[in-house]
Amino acid sequence: MTSSPARRRFMYGGVAVAAAAAGLGGAWWRERGGSTKGEVLDAAFWQQRFDRPEGGELVFSKLRGKPLLLNFWATWCPPCVEEMPMIDRFFRENGGNGWQVVGLAIDQPSAVRKFLQKTPVGYPLGLAGLQGTELVKSLGNTAGGLPFTLVLTGAGTVAARKMGKLEPTDLDTWRRELVHG
């Protein structure tokens, strides 16, 4: 079955319009800094569990009570991979000061395990798979782009959201604002 040239142009035009809308939506979201700060995450968020690459489970309910930097990443995402050593350094330097750091991989478990053999990190990681995409969207990143970082206070309130690669100034600002150290 072949499609007419007019139908192909219409289809390509529709794809172009959808891509432009997604780009504009992402730019608008970045400009706003994500959804509103101060939002308290509900009990369903804290009841989540994810398998860990090395075995066992990452249980979110155990993360309540201290500031939490939650980073969504994937092995196929260059900015995600580039920021991981910086996040690991932040974890090593601030874990004793009350900070928790968790990475959730939106990726195939086998790819994550292979990646971690070459590039290990000290902070806990969970395997979120496709569930992670839905979680990212529910946390305000409607485009589902990576990397995506969420910062929570010890009370479970959203302190910050960042779509895109982290910079050292992001981590320093969050550290100062949440733990005053």
State how far the Cα of 93 lies from the Cα of 124, in Å rounded to an integer. Answer: 15
State how far the Cα of 24 lies from the Cα of 171, in Å rounded to an integer. Answer: 27
34-179, what's its fold? Answer: Glutaredoxin (3.40.30)
Q: Mean pLDDT across the stretch 60-88?
A: 97
State how far the Cα of 96 lies from the Cα of 115, in Å rounded to an integer. Answer: 27
pTM above 0.75, yes or no: yes
Q: Mean pLDDT across the stretch 35-64?
A: 92
C-alpha dist (Å) from residue 74 to 55, 65, 80: 18, 27, 6
Which residue has 């496709």 as its token pair?
130
